[in-house]
Amino acid sequence: MTIADDLRELIRTVPDFPKPGIRFRDVTTLLAHGDGLRRSVAGLAGLADGLDIDSVAGIEARGFIFGSALAVHLGLGFIPLRKPGKLPVATIGEDYDLEYGKARLELDPTLLKPGQRVLLVDDLLATGGTAVAGTRLLRRAGGVVNSAVFVIDLPELGGAGLLAEMEVAAQSIVGFDGH
């Protein structure tokens, strides 16, 4: 059994959440499994191996869990991309569409230095709207974003292609057929 097969079994699928027709890939069952969590972070570190990066950026909320664990694993700092109204300082923001709604991400641009090479991390890549918004924000703040890593990809939703159009190479550990 591969690491992907192993981890896939730990991810719970919940039909019709948060809307009818969505098959929600729920990572809470993976997070609650000590060895599953350790192997997911090790898997992300394997995908990041050889990438030339200075920091890790993670997307609220589920991307914070994997992103901060990966940053600690790699000995790098963590940059949070936050949902609206959470940061206590001036922010830049990007609105985007999700598989099941609309959302916005915000960033404190002073957290990055010009030319800082940032690896984007999230739990799941679906349409790619979230990761594209995160990439735009980090680039607006002077960051260089060439790579993104995810625990899960839903390839039929086309997120990796959208990121490729922005010259961001997406890699993931587990793929799920369908959406």
Ligand X SMILES: O=P(O)(O)OC[C@H]1O[C@H](OP(=O)(O)OP(=O)(O)O)[C@H](O)[C@@H]1O
Q: Which is nearer to ligand ADE, 53 or 150 (CB)?
A: 150
Q: How far is the CB of 159 from ligand X (least distance, A)?
A: 5
| 3-class SS letters over 58-101 | EECCHHHHHHHHHHHHHCCEEEEEECCCCCCCCCEEEEEEECCE
Q: Is 98 in the site for ligand X (CB under 6 A)?
A: yes
Q: How far is the CB of 4 from ligand X (least distance, A)?
A: 18
Q: How far is the CB of 18 from ligand X (least distance, A)?
A: 8
Q: Is 128 in the site for ligand X (CB under 6 A)?
A: yes
Q: What is the spatial distance between Cα 43 and Cα 28, in angstroms, rounded to a whole number?
A: 17
Q: Which is nearer to ligand X, 95 or 113 (CB)?
A: 95
Q: What is the spatial distance between Cα 128 and Cα 157, in angstroms, rounded to a whole number?
A: 8
Q: Is 99 in the site for ligand X (CB under 6 A)?
A: yes
Place of tokens 């009818």: 20
Contact positions vs ligand ADE (CB under 6 A): 22-25, 98-99, 124, 126
Q: Considering only the C-alpha atoms of the chain, give the largest distance between any 2 of them, rounded to a whole number of Å.
A: 48
- Here's the x/- map for ligand X, 24-63, by CB under 6 A: it reads as -----------------------------------xxxxx
Q: Is 126 in the site for ligand X (CB under 6 A)?
A: yes
Nearest to 115 by CA among 145, 90, 135, 86: 145
**Both tokens of residue 151?**
């625990």
Q: Is 124 in the site for ligand X (CB under 6 A)?
A: yes
Q: Is 72 in the site for ligand X (CB under 6 A)?
A: no
59 contact choice in ligand ADE, ligand X, none (CB below 5 to 8 Å, kind-dependent): ligand X
Bridging pattern class, strands 117-125 and 55-59 = parallel
Residues that are catalytic = 62, 99
Dihedral of alpha carbons 126, 129, 134, 139, sign: positive
Point out which residues bind ligand X (CB under 6 A). 59-63, 98-99, 103, 122-131, 159
